[in-house]
Amino acid sequence: QHFWLHGPRSGPAVEFSADAGMWNVYGHPELHEVLGDPAAFSSDTMRVVPASMMPSKDDFSLDGFITQIDPPEHGKLRKLVSSAFTRKVVADLEPRIAALTHELLDAARDRERFELVSDLAYPLPVIVIAELLGVPSGDRALFKRWADALFQSDAKVSVNRPSDEREAELQAVMKPWKEMSDYLAGHAAQRRRQPRADLLTRLVEAEVDGERLPDDQVVNFAILLLLAGHITTTMLLGNTVLCLDAYPEQQDRARADRASIPAVIEEALRLFTPFAALGRATTREVKLGGVTIPADQMVMCWLGAANRDPRQFPDPEAFDPHRDPNPHLAFGRGIHFCLGAPLARLEGRIALNILLDRFERLRTDPDDPVLFIPTPTLTGVRRLALVRNL
Ligand code: HEM
């Protein structure tokens, strides 16, 4: 029944929610349009969130975050960070990701229960990113605490929230945020003095057309890697195993034909879209899906819903890795297309291959119910125990 997590959608592709004070876009062609038009649909959503809802800038700011920036600044920043975080840097991680996956599975060997999320899917991506950045992976308990604090909110998606409710939520987020920024700023400053062979050093030294990343940008990007690149990949791994458990014939196929694993991962991303929603803000009046959205409105882009739009995906609730093409929007689209997609796909492919090697059968434990993250904008398992046959 997990496959009905959100239920099939019927109803308009674009609609206004008076309750939340924002527009919801659910349709695939409509989202394709929104994400492809950053001039009309800005990523700088803070411009439509009332200042009274934001904490003081000294403590917390999304200013300058690559995901929030529009052209032309976005292009410059993206070029700089991409010059440090290249496909080659990612591809070179393959043996290390495989070794870490084996290490984590070995460490869980004697545990009575194998719980995929805490034993593998949660630690693997955070260790990979910590090692990539060059911060001690021994500090990963810190990253886990920060990521938990920043993601465990089951906040409603709305700009019409009572300010005290919003304030309490922001307070809970600000402390870990500040700790994380200070921690990464310390490491970045240290790399300026003493370069090393790591991504933080490459970010500090990156130069395109005579421009370099200022310190706060290095820190922002590192934070984004730790947050955006961690929990999403955790969800990807858990969700993929969930799909293979629910569709045993697809598991047999993937086991027999390992070259089909990338397609399995893409289909799991479509059906269970980790970042189920993104925010945009209109810069002018726009027509979308036959509806007129005024300027300066918050627009929620429901990637998860678009990925189950029957106009684009026949039998959208079925897990079918043979969809070809599979134009899901799980990594977004256009200028902000996920910069970490190659890393997420690589980790997914390696971990799944090794799980298939080491488990005769990937089967969820019927005595240990699968749990999902209780946040409407995130779609992913947070607990998934497997029957042990390591
Ligand atoms: C952007 C999803 C893994 C780094 C995005 C966006 C999506 C997304 C939907 C677009 C945001 C927007 O348009 O507003 C995912 C999913 C992942 C994943 C589903 C895993 C399954 C990663 C990883 C990293 C990463 C592993 C890095 C280590 C980024 C960055 C951006 C981004 C830096 C911003 C790009 C830009 O604004 O130009 N991701 N992501 N992501 N992602 Fe990922």
For ligand 1, say whether the CB of 330 is within 6 Å of any of its atoms: yes
> What is the per-residue pLDDT for 139?
87
Query: What residue owns the CA closest to ligand 1's atom 32?
Result: 338
For ligand 1, say whether the CB of 352 is within 6 Å of any of its atoms: no
The total number of structural domains in the chain stands at 1
Q: How far is the CA of 368 from the centre of ligand 1 (A)?
A: 31
Longest CA–CA span in the chain (Å) reads 60
Q: Is the pLDDT of residue 377 over 90?
A: no
- The CATH number of the domain where 249 resides is what? 1.10.630.10
Range of 2-6, 67-71, 229-233 with top mean pLDDT: 67-71
For ligand 1, say whether the CB of 222 is within 6 Å of any of its atoms: no
Model confidence at 149, in pLDDT bands (50, 70, 90)?
A: confident
pLDDT in tens, 117-137: 999 999 999 889 989 999 887
Model confidence at 51, in pLDDT bands (50, 70, 90)?
A: low
Query: What residue owns the CA closest to ligand 1's atom 1?
Result: 338
In a domain, 390, yes or no: no
> What is the per-residue pLDDT for 375?
80
In a domain, 26, yes or no: yes
User: ipTM score of the complex?
Assistant: 0.99
Task: Determine the atom of ligand 1 nearest the C-alpha atom of 66.
Answer: 37
Q: What is the 3-state secondary structure (H, E, C) of 205-269?
A: HCEECCEECCHHHHHHHHHHHHHHCCHHHHHHHHHHHHHHHHCHHHHHHHHHCHHHHHHHHHHHH
pLDDT in tens, 196-206: 999 999 999 99
For ligand 1, say whether the CB of 312 is within 6 Å of any of its atoms: no
Residue range of the domain that includes 105:
2-385
Q: pTM to 2 decimals?
A: 0.92
For ligand 1, say whether the CB of 77 is within 6 Å of any of its atoms: no
In a domain, 226, yes or no: yes
Full DSSP string of 46-84: GGGS-GGGS--TTT---TT-GGGPPTTHHHHHHHHHHHH
In a domain, 62, yes or no: yes
Which DSSP letter does residue 38 get?
A: T
Task: Determine the atom of ligand 1 nearest the C-alpha atom of 129.
Answer: 28
Q: How far is the CA of 14 from the centre of ligand 1 (A)?
A: 24
Q: What are 313's two structure tokens?
A: 């995906």
Pair 296, 16: CB distance under 8 Å: no
Q: What is the CA radius of gyration of the chain?
A: 21
Q: Which residue has the tokens 């390591």?
A: 390
In a domain, 81, yes or no: yes
Q: How far is the CA of 216 from the centre of ligand 1 (A)?
A: 19
In a domain, 374, yes or no: yes
> What is the per-residue pLDDT for 4?
44
Distance CA 242, CA 130 (A): 27
Which of 34, 338, 346, 349 to probe ligand 1 with, by most ligand atoms within 8 A of CB?
A: 338
Distance CA 375, CA 156 (A): 8
Phi first, then psi, for residue 176 (nearest 5°) are -60, -35
CA distances, 154 to each of 21, 57, 363 (Å): 18, 24, 29
Average model confidence (pLDDT) across the chain: 89
